[in-house]
A and B are shown apart, each in its own frame.
Chain A
């Protein structure tokens, strides 16, 4: 039905991604003429509306950029503001932040694996359809997701837009006995996470590799989550404070998300595969073992295998959460005072989808004078378009429907968060 040589593929509203976007591919003969990931999610202007707000507000306000990764926004905002005010939080508070973040990784990764991405590999339009044939599998995914949400709920008050995070720490820190029941639940979830790795490892992965430079936070000695310096697979390394010297954002006409590239170097990608490639040695022994058994090598440059990396990171996050709960000593105070000062502060953390950078300018009264937020999806956008171009080029023999579905899958590899990136996908493949 589609052996026309010139064609367009269009997905007018991308499904199973967070936010709104479209994909447009134009093919002439054997050549892919144009690939566009159109992000038409309406802009919400966070960077503009933050100006004039108090320096205590960005953790709550920027959480509203994304309902799937609010903790990432809260953690990057706190890091940037504490940097501006030259304050360091107590070790006990830092450990709780990492625990909270582990909860978000578990919840977000499991949502992506089970509800958004796995159905592509198994040929179902949704997890709810999959549940008709494999209810046990979907129930396992939901139980695992719930375990992540329970961490966020306990520490944050609720799973979406937690209320307990503040600049300098938390409003209230839990007693040891409050965390204890969580540990038992996480042990069960750990078994489910290991099963998830085995399940996902059996999927059929297209043979596809990219050669993008990969960028992630690195914290020697531990798998980077809530802190670290920036490093790339090509050996570039710099402090978070230098992020804007290296990452250039451009505004392209077809997108309300900005495109990022590395100054003088070009496209790069962020996210689980970048994190894994740069941090693998610091995975917990159990997660490392699961990665080896699943056949993940020293690095992962096949974006389709990102689902496997997410599964391994879920094992890691559960392991890490259990360790943090076991070693938890309630901090002397839930938060440290953060006196405002006139300064610029920078912060970056590893959101489930990759590095999330914030920068704020403050005046002496603590009012925000400028804000800049670079979310993972805008950093990945050029890389995604590049993958699509190469992927479509090698699969032009497929009919439009199959090719379109496979393109959507190629995009979902990056778990794009479109609400974030506008501060996805409608697919068009045009064959002419």
Chain B
């Protein structure tokens, strides 16, 4: 952590999450000390017990909002932050914990806890942008550390981060992957999923499971046809959209298109 008062300050905040997205910063093993030379890390509890008061030039926010206290806390974070960047599927789409949005949270609570009355939680898990203005969003569960470095460097020099919004398919072509749908009939969410990971799953002979959330303008009908052709059932298709980015409006929409026109009996 630098001490130069002229250096821009960075704060990292956590809400309901697994810590994986903020860990991506500590996982920049080759760049971490260089970043620390150029920004003052003023609040980053996972890394330091030294906390400096705000305001902060840039805040990275991980996690979703699931408690009444956290609703209040995100407003305070927003007030203290010049630029606010949300990192990861939890912060941008509510995360896997947003599956409660489709269920009864009291029932969830009683399944996990013997004394549910000790646990206070909201009935929903919502993204940060549902509560405050957000300047940039980084997708992924977890985010990609190259994208994180791009955002931090861009903000340091005062330009807009270059984060493409096309689909994973595009990255598959760049990486030279063989299409897993065409070659093996493997179901894949790549055509509707936001780029950023570098098309990891297809490179490992697996279909994309959508961890980067929806791309900008997904073609849901074409995608539903593609998935159906691989033999996926409607229930499996709905579940595929309802996982790490269950709360992303485009994926909610796609999980509805999936159900689509009535199918002949026995086709599910």
Contact = CB atoms under 8 A, between A and B. Distances in A.
Interface string B16-53: 11111111101101101100100001000111111100
A115 B18 contact: no
B18 A145 contact: no
A407 to B, nearest CB: 12
Interface stretch (B106-114, B131-139, B219-227, B257-265): B106-114
Contact of B95 (A19, A64, A164): A64
Contacts of B243: 57, 60-61
Interface string B106-125: 01110111110011010000
Query: How many B residues touch the partner, as a band?
Result: 35 or more
B23 to A, nearest CB: 5
B23 A68 contact: yes
Contacts of B18: 64-67, 70, 419
Nearest to A14: B45
Contact of B33 (A70, A131, A255): A131
B90 to A, nearest CB: 9
Interface residues of A, number: 68
A256 B24 CA distance: 26
Contacts of A160: 20, 23-24, 27, 142
Interface stretch (B77-85, B157-165, B203-211, B248-256): B203-211
Contact of A54 (B1, B103, B236): B236
Contacts of A48: 100, 103, 107-109, 111-112
Contact of B50 (A125, A131, A158, A171): A125
A26 interface: no
A274 interface: no
A286 B64 CA distance: 45
B11 interface: no
Interface string A126-169: 11110100010011001101100100000001111101101000
A43 B200 contact: no
B197 interface: yes
Contact of B1 (A61, A126, A158): A126
Nearest to B180: A171
Contacts, number: 188
B96 A18 contact: no
A131 B96 CA distance: 36
A127 B47 contact: yes
Contact of A53 (B70, B121, B200, B239): B239
B66 interface: yes
Interface string B178-210: 000000000000000000010011011110010
A47 B18 CA distance: 15
Contacts of B19: 18-19, 66-68, 419
Given A43-B112, A125-B50, A172 B204 contact: yes
B36 A131 contact: yes
Interface in A61-81: 61, 64-68, 70
Contacts of B20: 64, 66-68, 70, 160-161
B97 interface: yes
A26 to B, nearest CB: 20
Interface in B211-250: 211, 236, 239, 243-244
Nearest to B125: A44
A242 to B, nearest CB: 21
A13 interface: yes
A285 to B, nearest CB: 29
B49 A15 contact: yes
Nearest to A417: B19
A387 B150 CA distance: 44
A264 interface: no
Contact of B112 (A45, A115, A171): A45
B190 to A, nearest CB: 13
Contacts of A51: 111
Contacts of B49: 15-16, 125-126, 405, 408
Contact of A15 (B26, B33, B48, B114): B48
Contacts of B67: 42
B99 interface: yes
B205 A172 contact: yes
Interface of A: 13-20, 41-49, 51, 53-54, 57, 60-61, 64-68, 70, 111, 115, 125-129, 131, 135, 138-139, 142-143, 145-146, 149, 157-161, 163-164, 166, 171-172, 249-253, 255-256, 258, 334, 405, 408, 419, 423
A-B pairs, top 3 by smallest CB distance, nearest first, are A67-B20, A126-B48, A15-B49
Interface of B: 1, 14-24, 26-27, 29-30, 32-33, 36, 41, 45-51, 66-67, 70, 95-97, 99-100, 103, 105, 107-109, 111-115, 118-119, 121, 141-142, 197, 200-201, 203-206, 209, 211, 236, 239, 243-244
